[in-house]
């Protein structure tokens, strides 16, 4: 798909193209992988949450349960970043599942930056984790399994899973 079509379909702006192509470029030089993206985006999530709270009115009810609170903060993060027009959350036991529609993501280094890779370079697994943990009273933890990536592509969705934790964990 040509860039012009991607701009229209994903409603891209210059910042989206910069980030996605920058990550794709670093991948081309083999100096970027999902592990490094996770570390960097964890820090970015903390700064972004501070920026968001300073510039956009948002209050979270500390009495909400961990799922409801995390869901509200994830949608707040999407409102700030405009990650995608389709970000869905769902609770499965003590897990919050986040789904980002692949063809609508505005930061994808593969879909926009045309990165060629065998794994993933998604900035959102650790960015969302840090953002939620900075803004909320309940915490989440990215589920990382030895043989499973932090992001799984299922049909037309990128799926990220987090363990819901209590305030003191």
Q: How confident is the model at residue 167 (pLDDT cuts 50, 70, 90)?
A: low
Distance CA 104, CA 27 (A): 22
Each residue's pLDDT tens digit, 13-65: 999 999 999 999 999 988 888 889 999 999 999 999 999 999 988 889 989 99
Q: How many other CB atoms are found less than 10 A from the CB of residue 138?
A: 22
Extents of the domains making up the chain: 3-165
- Which CATH architecture is the domain 3-165 placed in? 2-Layer Sandwich (3.30)
User: The pTM is what?
Assistant: 0.92
Question: H helices then E strands: how many in the chain?
Answer: 5, 5
The candidate with the shortest Cα–Cα distance to 80, out of 122, 49, 123, is 49
Provide mean pLDDT across the span 3-18. Answer: 93
Q: What pLDDT score was predicted for residue 144?
A: 85
Q: What pLDDT score was predicted for residue 33?
A: 86
Q: How confident is the model at residue 1 (pLDDT cuts 50, 70, 90)?
A: confident
Q: How many other CB atoms are found less than 10 A from the CB of residue 46?
A: 15
């Amino acid at each position: 798909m040509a860039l012009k079509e991607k701009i229209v379909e994903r409603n891209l702006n210059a910042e989206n193209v910069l980030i996605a192509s920058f990550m794709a470029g670093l991948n081309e030089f083999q100096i970027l992988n999902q592990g490094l993206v996770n570390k960097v985006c964890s820090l970015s999530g903390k700064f972004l949450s501070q920026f968001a709270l300073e510039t956009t009115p948002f209050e979270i009810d500390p009495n909400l349960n961990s799922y409801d609170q995390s869901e509200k903060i994830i949608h707040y993060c999407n409102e700030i970043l405009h990650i995608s027009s389709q970000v869905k959350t769902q609770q499965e036991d003590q897990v919050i599942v986040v789904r980002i529609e692949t063809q609508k993501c505005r930061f994808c280094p593969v879909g926009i930056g045309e990165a060629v890779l065998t794994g993933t370079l998604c900035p959102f697994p650790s960015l969302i984790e840090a953002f939620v943990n900075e803004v909320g009273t309940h915490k989440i933890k990215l589920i990382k399994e030895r043989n499973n990536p932090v992001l799984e592509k299922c049909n037309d969705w990128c799926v990220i899973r987090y363990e819901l934790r209590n305030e003191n964990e």
